[in-house]
């Protein structure tokens, strides 16, 4: 018989107790658990994904608890019977959603005219780095927080082609560049570009457009190209700038807005389901080009289904 492979240990759990008189030490441990991005599992313990850095954090914290005359154990957990892995990941994402939402509110409250602007934006940049470090499952709000911070730092950055009714002739035969692992806004924008702006458009993926001079950025963080404007997602921005008035496209735009910005502005849920499918494909390791093409086919199906 062949050797049976060991099950993958997905999680680490810290369980501990401290003497009741150690109130200040308990607060100190709790603050570190918050800093590490742990998920409290009822009254059983605190959970983190099983990585080398998280193991080191829990081992040091357990050692500290024992130094306070308490008891602590670090457990390696394959699965929790009534909390499937997908549900646990969603709970981690929900915790980071709270962090990102608060950060975005703070960023949006910045005023460049304030004397404290530089100090505040420096602090918010550090806070973003801290959240990203414990964002183990890439919250959908991460790119929105990054984009908000970029806009706050460079509010006057011009957008290439960024005028209402932009001439399609300027955008024929171009390469359009966006970030890897395309989600609902980028996939639908690519579909819109092919259908209404340039049927021969080609697409590239990079975290920065600098490596592709001449390409038209869309839904990127840096200046130039087409992206979020005001409360509009990139798909809506393209519709505005290229004066696309197709009734069915504008209905699709509402679904994309609600899925991408998660503000329930239009009460449309179709895009939410599509976005989950795109995330599933990305998690499977499917290539960017393949995700984009599959997603564009789905968006085309949504468009054609509208009567």
- 172 and 263 share a domain? yes
Assess if residue 5 is contained within a domain. no
pLDDT of residue 157: 42
- 210 and 299 share a domain? yes
Domain end position, chosen among 77, 108, 128 = 77
Assess if residue 6 is contained within a domain. no
- 129 and 195 share a domain? no
pLDDT of residue 232: 86
pLDDT of residue 207: 82
pLDDT of residue 2: 44
For 5-25, b where at least 16 C-beta lie within 10 A, e where not — what string? eeeeebbbbbbbebeeebeeb
- 173 and 300 share a domain? yes
- 209 and 279 share a domain? yes
Task: Express each pLDDT in 180-216 by its tens digit.
Answer: 999 999 999 999 999 999 999 999 999 876 778 889 9
Mean pLDDT of 241-249: 91
Mean pLDDT of 236-265: 91
- 111 and 186 share a domain? no
- 173 and 237 share a domain? yes
Mean pLDDT of 165-182: 86
Residue bearing the bigger pLDDT, 13 or 154: 13
pLDDT of residue 158: 41
- 96 and 206 share a domain? no
Task: Express each pLDDT in 34-81 by its tens digit.
Answer: 999 999 998 889 999 999 889 999 999 999 999 999 999 999 998 888
- 240 and 147 share a domain? no
Assess if residue 265 is contained within a domain. yes
Asked whether the predicted pLDDT for residue 83 surpasses 70, the reply is yes
pLDDT of residue 155: 56
Percent share of the chain, pLDDT over 70: 92
Assess if residue 158 is contained within a domain. no
Task: Express each pLDDT in 133-163 by its tens digit.
Answer: 999 988 888 888 887 887 787 654 444 444 4
Assess if residue 17 is contained within a domain. yes
pLDDT of residue 9: 64
CATH code of the domain in which 54 resides: 3.30.70.240
Token representation of residue 283? 């998690």
- 46 and 111 share a domain? no
Q: Quote the number of domains for the chain.
A: 3
Percent share of the chain, pLDDT over 90: 58
- 271 and 179 share a domain? yes
- 177 and 201 share a domain? yes
Q: Which residue range is the domain that position 143 belongs to?
A: 85-153
């Amino acid at each position: 018989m062949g050797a049976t492979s060991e099950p993958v240990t997905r999680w680490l759990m810290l369980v501990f107790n401290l003497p009741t008189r150690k109130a200040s030490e308990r607060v100190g441990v709790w603050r570190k658990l918050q800093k590490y991005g742990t998920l409290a599992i009822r009254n059983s313990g605190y959970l983190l994904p099983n990585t080398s850095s998280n193991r080191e954090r829990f081992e040091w914290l357990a050692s500290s608890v024992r130094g306070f005359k308490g008891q602590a154990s670090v457990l390696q957990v394959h699965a929790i019977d009534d909390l499937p892995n997908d549900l646990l990941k969603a709970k981690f994402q929900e915790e980071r959603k709270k962090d990102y939402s608060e950060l975005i509110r703070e960023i949006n409250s910045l005023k460049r005219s304030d004397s404290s602007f530089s100090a505040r934006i420096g602090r918010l940049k550090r806070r973003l780095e801290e959240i990203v470090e414990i964002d183990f499952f890439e919250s959908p709000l991460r790119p929105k927080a990054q984009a908000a911070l970029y806009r706050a730092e460079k509010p006057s950055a011009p957008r290439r082609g960024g005028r209402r009714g932009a001439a399609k002739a300027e955008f024929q035969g171009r390469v359009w560049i966006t970030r890897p692992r395309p989600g609902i806004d980028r996939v639908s924008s690519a579909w819109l570009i092919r259908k209404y702006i340039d049927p021969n458009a080609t697409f590239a993926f990079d975290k920065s457009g600098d490596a592709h001079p001449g390409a038209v950025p869309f839904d990127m963080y840096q200046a130039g190209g087409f992206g979020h404007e005001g409360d509009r997602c990139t798909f809506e921005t393209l519709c505005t700038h290229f004066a696309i008035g197709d009734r069915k496209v504008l209905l699709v735009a509402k679904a994309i807005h609600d899925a991408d910005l998660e503000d329930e502005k239009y009460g449309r849920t179709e895009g939410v389901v599509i976005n989950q499918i795109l995330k599933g494909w990305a998690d499977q390791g499917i290539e960017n080009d393949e995700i984009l093409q599959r997603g564009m086919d789905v968006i085309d199906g949504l468009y054609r289904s509208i009567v």
